Amino acid sequence: MDPPEVSRDLCRKAGYTFTFLSDPNAEVIRRYDLLHVGGGTDGHDIARPAEFLVDSARVVRWVNFTEDFRVRARGDEMLVAAKSLR
């Protein structure tokens, strides 16, 4: 949801080197049915947390929809999911 400039600050502070995309109009978030209406701290719409592992045929091979937005997929869980596809 954040504009690219805000995400750039976040990436710099957190040291992220992966591709970090912005969806300020929640266009793709809606396409993936992940919009959390009024879920932001100041009441604006945000994305619910979700993780998708997509193969080169664009087919979803693994997903994680948390029941509690505080609980996210861990890096090692996502690596295990990716390795199990090989």
Partner 1 sequence: MPDMIQSRWNWALWLGFLLALGALLCNAVFFVNPPGQRAIPWLSVLLAGVSLILLVRGLQRAFGQPRVYRGKILSSILALVSLLLVGVAIFSFFQARAIPASAGAPKVGQRAPDFTLADTNGQSVSMAQLFAPGADDSQVVPPKEVLLIFYRGYW
Rounded to a whole number of angstroms, the minimum distance from the CB of residue 14 to partner 1 is 10
Rounded to a whole number of angstroms, the minimum distance from the CB of residue 54 to partner 1 is 4
In Å, what is the CA distance from 72 to each residue of 22, 39, 56, 57, 65?
Answer: 19, 16, 24, 26, 9
Contact status: 15 vs partner 1 (CB under 8 A): no
d(CA 25, CA 45): 10
Site for partner 1 in 17-76 (CB under 8 A): 19-23, 27-29, 31-37, 39-40, 46-56, 58-63, 65-76
**Among positions 15, 43, 78, 80, the unique one binding partner 1 when judged by CB under 8 A:** 78
Contact residues for 20 (Cβ-Cβ < 8 A; gap 6+): 7, 8, 10, 11
Contact status: 84 vs partner 1 (CB under 8 A): no
